[in-house]
Amino acid sequence: MNLQLTKKLSDKLKVDLVKIDTTKYNDIENYHCNLLKFGRDNCVLITNDKNLFSFFIYGLKASDFKNFEESISQRIFKILIELGFSQPQFEQILDSLQNIQYSKTSNRSVISSMNDMKNQIESYIYHGDNIYEINRKLNQTPYKYIEHKYATDLYKELLNINSTEVENVKIEYNQMLLNTFTLEELSLLYENRTMCSVDKYQKINVMVVSFPNIMVEISTDCEVKDIAVIDLLDDCGHNYPNPLSKEKLFKIIS
């Protein structure tokens, strides 16, 4: 996830910001993030660049800023549950939160919309709305930036589209695996692995598999026969050459 921080928030977190190309991220991963203060309470507003869907997080303490990523992840999860998002939908957001990049703000229109939201939030707090009611009302407001549509509807639509793309990637990925390994080899990999993952959001042809003493990148492109060693535990006493052939991998794990 790319969090584009305002200067107030970057100073609070004591992080250096860089200017990055936001197009490198998909629409579900680009957000602006601002520090708000209501009375003595520190709050954070996180707003999606594409559709203005926002997470308003209230009452952050000093310890929350020290463990910022963990703190916002837990609260975002609770907000998504309260707002009725399905498991496949909120899992996409939680996955994105596992890898957060801080950068400079890039969209003045989003910042302007967030300033409008601040005024709304102040009114909601004054009338005694709880945190979930505030988040629900924010995302059911028709903003000009999104052509007076509702952010909740647009956000769920984006998540559903992305979910379909993920399933298509999985189908492609599984076919690539079958082109690279026999069923017997795949079974052996599965039985011996301690971890296996594939990037769900980018169409890449690499699987990462971790075994007790070696971590490797396995190409799922049937044209590539060699396997690259990406990590090796220092205390295992082995020194495998890179690249590692498929035959040698199976000799190691068998």
Q: Cβ of 116: how many Cβ atoms within 10 Å?
A: 14
Work out the percent of the chain whose per-residue pLDDT is above 70.
80
Q: Looking at the predicted structure, is the pLDDT value of residue 204 above 60?
A: no
Residue 205: strand, helix, or coil: coil
Q: Looking at the predicted structure, is the pLDDT value of residue 146 above 80?
A: yes
Q: How confident is the model at residue 191 (pLDDT cuts 50, 70, 90)?
A: confident
Name residue 201's amino acid: Y
User: Which residue from 76, 74, 186 is spatially nearest to 135, judged by alpha carbons?
Assistant: 76
100-135: pLDDT as tens digits: 999 999 999 999 999 999 999 999 999 999 999 999
Alpha-carbon distances of 185 from 32, 93, 212, 223, 248, rounded to whole Å: 45, 33, 18, 17, 13
pLDDT for res 249 = 79
Q: Report the distance separating Cα 20 and Cα 29, nearest Å.
A: 13
pLDDT for res 123 = 95
Mean pLDDT value of segment 231-246: 61
pLDDT greater at residue 61 or residue 210: 61
Alpha-carbon distances of 162 from 89, 157, 193, 219, rounded to whole Å: 9, 9, 28, 24
**Which domains are assigned to the chain?**
2-164 (3.30.420), 181-253 (no CATH)
pLDDT for res 201 = 42
Q: Report the distance separating Cα 65 and Cα 115, nearest Å.
A: 22
pLDDT for res 206 = 66
Backbone φ and ψ of 86, nearest 5°: -80, 165
Q: Looking at the predicted structure, is the pLDDT value of residue 175 above 60?
A: yes
Q: Looking at the predicted structure, is the pLDDT value of residue 27 above 50?
A: yes
Q: Report the distance separating Cα 202 and Cα 204, nearest Å.
A: 6
Chain-centroid distance of CA 63 in Å reads 23
Q: Looking at the predicted structure, is the pLDDT value of residue 203 above 60?
A: no
Q: Cβ of 54: how many Cβ atoms within 10 Å?
A: 24
Pairing type for strands 2-5 and 30-38 reads: parallel
pLDDT for res 184 = 80
pLDDT for res 66 = 93
Mean pLDDT value of segment 9-35: 91
Mean pLDDT value of segment 206-235: 67
User: Which residue from 194, 131, 204, 140 is spatially nearest to 169, judged by alpha carbons?
Assistant: 204
Mean pLDDT value of segment 65-85: 91
Mean pLDDT across the chain: 83
Mean pLDDT value of segment 170-182: 70
Judged by average pLDDT, the poorest of 131-145, 171-185, 200-214 is: 200-214
Q: Looking at the predicted structure, is the pLDDT value of residue 161 above 80?
A: no
